[in-house]
Amino acid sequence: MRLPARNATELHWLSEETLIMAGHGGGPRAIRSGVLLEEAQRHLGLRPLPAPHRKVDATGRPAGMRDWPAGQSGSFSHWGDYTLCLLHRGTGLHWGVDLEEIPDAQTTQEILSIALDQNERDLLSQTRCGIGSEGLARRAVSVFSAKESFYKAAYPKVGTFFGFDALRLAASPTPTHLQFTVVRSLTTSLPAGKPVSIGCRATARAVISWCSL
């Protein structure tokens, strides 16, 4: 999986029903998201429909979930001029996708402090992981990104905010997957102790993760 050149797109199939479109270009995020969604819909053989609008609460603040076109579900993520659109043909799953830049040393330490608990930090720093500072940055941001993807996928089920501590890394990250455990019960379908597998890929400059629930 790779990110596209300027003013180009890249297509990544996760399955016959699910894909990720990556785009690189300027302009308002809403417009970039809509263009990618239409391209993704064509690849899946779906009728192009308008990009979903984020729901808002009574105060007008984003409520963390979107109204997707009928028969479709997915997720968006942005980093700089890059945009990701994950689109799934069907509505049986909730999805989350996330794109994060490989951080510098200072940001890595902030991620380790804010998004990971001591058990997770110990797991990433184990000698058997065989990682230096660059490897640690990639693994730390992979965990951070995976938790962001989980939040996006879980929010429609949970319906309220929850923090990074709701999910705990259960095994050392691999180049393609991260294994987590739900720490506390979030809803009946996400009870404490439930295992969660989240897909991930690293590029030269960023990490991409995705989750379905």
Binding-site residues for Mg(2+), in ranges, read 98, 100
> What contacts 163, CB < 8 A, 6 or more positions away?
none
Phi-psi region of 192 (alpha: psi -120 to 50; beta: other; left: phi over 0): beta
Residue 108 identity: T
Residues in the chain: 213
**Are 209 and 142 a contacting pair, CB within 8 Å?**
yes
**Are 179 and 195 a contacting pair, CB within 8 Å?**
yes
SS3 123: helix
Phi-psi region of 173 (alpha: psi -120 to 50; beta: other; left: phi over 0): beta
**Are 77 and 115 a contacting pair, CB within 8 Å?**
no
Binding-site residues for CoA, in ranges, read 77-78, 98, 148, 152
Binding-site residues, in ranges, read 77-78, 98, 100, 148, 152
- Check residue 129 and report its DSSP letter: G
**Are 183 and 192 a contacting pair, CB within 8 Å?**
yes
Name the nearest CA neighbour of 194 among 184, 185, 181.
181
